Structure 1
Amino acid sequence: MISAIAIDDEPIALSIVEKHAAKIPYLKLEAVFTNALEGLNYLNANQVDLIFLDINMPDISGLEFVKSLTNKPHIIFTTAYSEYAVESYELEAADYLLKPFEFGRFLKAVNKLAEQTEKSSQNYLFLKSGYEFIRIEKSDLRYIKGDGNYVGFHTSERKVLCRMKMDEAESLVSSDDFIKVHRSYVVNKSMILKVEKHQLHLEEGTIPISQTYYDNLVTNL
């Protein structure tokens, strides 16, 4: 079951999300908000898997809203403006729905997220590196490092380099066992030996921590 909320300053747009969500048995829309700040207060007290989020809103834009989150759920933007698509994917959005969207397009976005969530629940990964598919046990994975269009999966014995975006790599290991500590790093929490203000220590060395993720890291260790 995917738990979700929707935030949009237009009540009609929210009613469409509610109507579509009601048709999907594995999606539970917990609450809807016309005020983004009320939605933020809800997230401070409740955890959800997904936010359906408008971009053009009066108090805070959807893009700035996402940037303000420390423990970020999956995001599906719902907007009438196509010009924000590039920035939305830079923020690692799961999808970008252009209003008005039909149920089929809505369902496709939710199904894509459901497939990613199912993959992340497995105890292992099969990673395509060059012409090989390499199996890695998640328990052996130390950290993930993004570098442009490539991601390195680091274990104690090897590094597997894959051509993919960082958000795709994150979706493969999205669980309580892994945590994002920097724009380019996701770390296996069980491998952390020590945390300092700007870096953490693993057996292999240090990993940088950005200020954006520090508070969430120390809260969720």
Structure 2
Amino acid sequence: MNSKARILIVEDEVLIADFIYESITEEKDLTVEIAYTEEEALEKFKSFSPDIILMDINIDGIDKGIELAEKRNKNAKIIFITAQNDEKTVEKAIKVKPETYLTKPVKKVDILAAIRIVLLKKSSDYIILKDGYENIKILKSDIIFIKSDKNYIDIHTVSKKYTFRISLENFAEILNDTNFQRVHRCYIINIKKAVKKTRLSVFVENYEIPLSRNIIFDLDFEE
């Protein structure tokens, strides 16, 4: 598994794009690519699947970068690059929920600092578990529930099921996240995906999970 963070520069001014590339490409834990046009960016959202996108707000036209950012690959974080600071542009950009802004002319120290801050925040969004010689990276928000079977657990996510040799107690320590709660001796659920509860069970998306009587579990749902 490639542990390097993937950075995509989306900038139609070649000199600026190349300067940013040179500023960060020497970082050994980063993989960097450039898209000079909207079409190239859309293609790289799919083929490169960047973790962070350094997005020029005005690529290929005024505010085009904001529109393009809305089409980015899932979970990619946006850092806008702009020469504009007018209120209307800022309000429009905020709707895309960028991590931060860099103003032109950009500086190397500011670029690297912005990337490091975003990567630090992203590191708490997922867990990494070892499966043989391979490291498996699982996004926390994709987890629906975890089921224990003695020394093994099944992690059910929105896309697939993973099985690991680890106790439920140890996995809970790795998660260390208040969005996950143990509702039964064999189950931990993602409470953000809970949709209903009864006296004996809680429904997490399309799954019915047993609810232990001795575990306090409070949701604002009618029983």
Normalising by the smaller structure, the TM-score range is 0.5 to 0.7
Match of 1:142 in 2: 191
CA–CA separation in structure 1 for the residues paired with 2:31 and 2:67: 25
Q: Secondary structure at the match of 2:7?
A: strand
Q: Secondary structure at the match of 2:6?
A: strand
In structure 2, what residue type is equivalent to 1:141? N
Q: Secondary structure at the match of 1:25?
A: coil
CA–CA separation in structure 1 for the residues paired with 2:205 and 2:80: 34
Q: Secondary structure at the match of 2:81?
A: strand
Shift of 1:70: 6.0
Correspondence 1:11-160 to 2 at 5 A = 11-29=14-32, 31-58=33-60, 61-69=64-72, 71-83=74-86, 84-122=89-127, 123-125=174-176, 135-137=178-180, 139-143=188-192
Shift of 1:72: 4.9
CA–CA separation in structure 2 for the residues paired with 1:99 and 1:156: 49
Q: Percent of aligned pairs with the same residue?
A: 16
Between stretches 87-96 and 49-58, larger displacement belongs to: 87-96
For the aligned residues, what is the CA RMSD? Answer: 3.2
For the Cα contact (< 8 Å) 1:8–1:36, is it kept in 2? Answer: no
Q: How far does the alpha carbon of each residue in 1:152-176 deviate from its partner, in whole angstroms, 9 at most, with x for none?
A: xx7989xxxxxxxxxxxxxxxxxxx
CA–CA separation in structure 2 for the residues paired with 1:137 and 1:156: 16
Point out the structure with the larger helix share.
1
Structure with the greater alpha carbon radius of gyration: 2
Between stretches 96-105 and 41-50, larger displacement belongs to: 41-50
Are the structure 2 counterparts of residues 98 and 41 from structure 1 closer, same or farther at C-alpha, using a change threshold of 3 Å? same
CA–CA separation in structure 2 for the residues paired with 1:140 and 1:155: 11
What residue ranges of structure 1 are gaps of 5+ in the alignment? 127-134, 145-153, 158-189, 195-203, 207-221
For the Cα contact (< 8 Å) 1:124–1:136, is it kept in 2? Answer: no
CA–CA separation in structure 2 for the residues paired with 1:102 and 1:78: 11
Instruction: Report how many residues are paired.
Output: 147
In structure 2, what residue type is equivalent to 1:10? E
Q: Secondary structure at the match of 1:47?
A: coil
Are the structure 2 counterparts of residues 136 and 193 from structure 1 closer, same or farther at C-alpha, using a change threshold of 3 Å? closer
Q: How far does the alpha carbon of each residue in 1:107-130 deviate from its partner, in whole angstroms, 9 at most, with x for none?
A: 21111111112222354346xxxx
Equivalent of 1:193 in 206, 211, 214 = 206
For the Cα contact (< 8 Å) 2:81–2:104, is it kept in 1? Answer: yes
Are the structure 2 counterparts of residues 89 and 9 from structure 1 closer, same or farther at C-alpha, using a change threshold of 3 Å? same
Are the structure 2 counterparts of residues 38 and 103 from structure 1 closer, same or farther at C-alpha, using a change threshold of 3 Å? same
Are the structure 2 counterparts of residues 118 and 142 from structure 1 closer, same or farther at C-alpha, using a change threshold of 3 Å? same
TM-score normalised by L of structure 1:
0.56
Q: How far does the alpha carbon of each residue in 1:118-157 deviate from its partner, in whole angstroms, 9 at most, with x for none?
A: 222354346xxxxxxxx4537532317xxxxxxxxx7989
CA–CA separation in structure 2 for the residues paired with 1:89 and 1:23: 31
Q: Secondary structure at the match of 1:68?
A: coil
